[in-house]
């Protein structure tokens, strides 16, 4: 009997020791988590500070994105701490309640050997534990619902941030491509303009040389005109010589015809002479061939002389036209010289303007390269922010799935049914014990 009383007296001590042990375990786990996660937190803070310094250098960062990143990180850390704290408390409470129920059940096994008053106290303790279990169950449900709502809200916000970050990342990538293309186009235009300046300078140099050449050409045209007049006289004499050559060819043609006739007569005489005239026949045949060749050559010479005379006549006519053209070319050359001087002046002004445009394009190209570097930094920051928001959304999904598992729902329903049943103390108490309890109440009154 004394042992049982000692056991019942030790049960609160065991419960307190259990609570203390669970608290120590939770504190040690929390400290271990802080120790292991502290370098990661420092690294994240270092990265955030470096990003902020870069953004202060370039002054091109969107502050709402920075605030959203900081708020998301803080919410994520707070949710992890809250979930860990709730899980530790839940484990401690479950372990404590389990030990308390086991102790009460161990004590209730000695109901038959203890007096009715002690049984009544045990029944009241059990009822008290059950009522506290109901209140703890209710608080757990409310906390779980609040946590689930916060997780869902955080998940929605993280998803929206991820979508907006992805859209912003695409826009930044498009802007970077446009800036790069614009810089490349400016670079190409600058190179083309430099080549244009070189061409214009060469054109100006050529125009100056051309002016000198044209002036020399005028002098040369005058000398050429004088020489052409002399050549016209020679060409006229050459035409008269061609006429004399035609007369000579006509005489040669007559001589070839006569030689051909003599060859025919000799061939006829040789044929009438018989054997003695064979040698003379061979000679007459050769004379005929020579006459034919001479006639053919004379005809060719005559044709060539006619062609040469026609060419000389046309050349003489062309020379007359050339003389007339040279007179016009003098005036055109003088006008061309004046135009070349004007072109030279305009070319010098054009070179000055192109040089100014090249300098402007060079400055724009440098600013475009700086803008590209800034956009690349923003692109890296947006990529890191997108990865962070996606990781946060994934973690929120995992937490939401874990907080809304079917097994947990079924266990909550079983716990609710068990707590809504008739108190265990009413079943454990015997009719005598209940009478004794009523008598004790009357005595107290």
Q: Are the C-beta atoms of residues 193 and 361 closer than 8 Å to each other? A: yes
Residue 428 has pLDDT above 70, yes or no: no
pLDDT of residue 387: 73
- Mean pLDDT, to the nearest integer, of 135-141? 71
- Mean pLDDT, to the nearest integer, of 90-107? 70
Instruction: Give per-residue pLDDT as tens, 159-188.
Output: 776 676 677 777 777 777 777 777 777 778
- Mean pLDDT, to the nearest integer, of 184-200? 77
Q: Are the C-beta atoms of residues 190 and 361 closer than 8 Å to each other? A: yes
List the single range of 1-10, 96-105, 122-131, 344-353 with lowest mean pLDDT: 1-10
pLDDT of residue 190: 76
Angle between helix 63-108 and 116-273 (nearest 10): 140
pLDDT of residue 91: 77
Instruction: Give per-residue pLDDT as tens, 386-404.
Output: 676 667 667 766 666 665 5
The average confidence (pLDDT) of the chain is 67
Burial 274-306 (b: 16+ CB within 10 A, else e): eeebeeebeebeebbeebeebbeebeebbeebe
- Mean pLDDT, to the nearest integer, of 200-222? 77
List the single range of 102-111, 163-172, 282-291, 422-431 with lowest mean pLDDT: 422-431
Higher-confidence position of 41 and 125: 125
pLDDT of residue 284: 67
Instruction: Give per-residue pLDDT as tens, 330-376.
Output: 778 778 878 877 887 877 788 788 888 778 777 777 777 777 777 77
pLDDT of residue 306: 78
List all residues 6 or more positions away from 110 whose beta carbon is below 8 Å from its beta carbon: 4
List all residues 6 or more positions away from 142 whose beta carbon is below 8 Å from its beta carbon: none
Identify the residue whose tokens are 């690294």: 43
Q: What is the C-alpha to C-alpha distance for residues 77 and 73, in angstroms, rounded to an integer? A: 6
Residue 202 has pLDDT above 80, yes or no: no
Instruction: Give per-residue pLDDT as tens, 282-300.
Output: 666 777 777 777 777 777 7
pLDDT of residue 438: 43
Residue 39 has pLDDT above 60, yes or no: no
Higher-confidence position of 29 and 117: 29
Q: Where are the domains of the chain?
A: 2-189+381-444, 194-369
pLDDT band for position 214 (50/70/90)?
confident
Residue 154 has pLDDT above 60, yes or no: yes
Residue 327 has pLDDT above 70, yes or no: yes
Residue 430 has pLDDT above 60, yes or no: no
pLDDT of residue 34: 53
Fold of 194-369: Helix Hairpins (1.10.287)
Residue 157 has pLDDT above 70, yes or no: no
Residue 120 has pLDDT above 60, yes or no: no
Write down the pTM of the prediction.
0.35
């Amino acid at each position: 009997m004394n042992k049982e009383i000692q056991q019942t007296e030790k049960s609160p001590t065991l419960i307190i020791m259990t609570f203390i042990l669970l608290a120590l375990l939770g504190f040690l786990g929390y400290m271990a988590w802080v120790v292991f996660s502290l370098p990661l937190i420092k690294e994240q803070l270092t990265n955030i500070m470096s990003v902020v310094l870069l953004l202060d250098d370039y002054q091109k960062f969107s502050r709402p994105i920075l605030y959203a990143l900081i708020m998301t990180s803080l919410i994520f850390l707070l949710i992890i701490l809250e979930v860990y704290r709730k899980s530790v408390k839940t484990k401690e409470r479950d372990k404590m309640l389990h030990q308390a129920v086991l102790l009460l059940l161990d004590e209730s096994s000695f109901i038959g050997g203890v007096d009715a008053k002690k049984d009544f106290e045990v029944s009241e303790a059990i009822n008290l534990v059950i009522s506290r279990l109901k209140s703890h169950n209710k608080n757990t449900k409310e906390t779980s619902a609040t946590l689930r709502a916060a997780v869902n809200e955080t998940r929605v916000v993280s998803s929206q941030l991820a979508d907006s970050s992805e859209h912003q990342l695409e826009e930044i990538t498009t802007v970077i491509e446009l800036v790069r293309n614009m810089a490349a186009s400016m670079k190409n235009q600058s190179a083309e303009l430099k080549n244009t300046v070189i061409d214009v300078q060469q054109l100006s140099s050529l125009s100056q040389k051309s002016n000198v050449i044209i002036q020399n050409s005028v002098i040369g045209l005058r000398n050429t005109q004088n020489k052409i007049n002399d050549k016209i006289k020679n060409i006229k004499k050459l035409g008269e010589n061609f006429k004399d050559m035609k007369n000579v060819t006509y005489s040669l043609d007559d001589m070839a015809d006569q030689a051909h006739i003599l060859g025919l007569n000799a061939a006829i005489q040789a044929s009438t002479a018989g054997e003695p005239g064979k040698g003379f026949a061979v000679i007459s045949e050769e004379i005929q061939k020579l006459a034919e060749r001479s006639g053919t050559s004379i005809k060719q010479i005559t044709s060539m002389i006619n062609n040469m005379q026609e060419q000389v006549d046309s050349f003489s006519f062309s020379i007359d036209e050339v003389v007339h053209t040279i007179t016009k070319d003098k005036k055109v050359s003088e006008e061309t010289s004046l135009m070349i001087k004007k072109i030279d002046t305009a070319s010098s002004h054009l070179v000055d303007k192109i040089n100014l445009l090249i300098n402007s394009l060079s400055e724009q190209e440098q600013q475009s390269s700086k803008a590209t570097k800034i956009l690349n930094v923003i692109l890296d920051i947006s990529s890191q922010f997108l990865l962070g928001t996606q990781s946060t959304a994934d973690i929120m999904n995992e937490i939401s799935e874990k907080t809304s598992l079917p097994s947990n729902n079924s266990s909550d329903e079983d716990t609710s049914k068990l707590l809504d049943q008739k108190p265990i103390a009413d079943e454990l108490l015997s009719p005598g014990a209940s009478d004794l309890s009523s008598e004790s109440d009357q005595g107290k009154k």
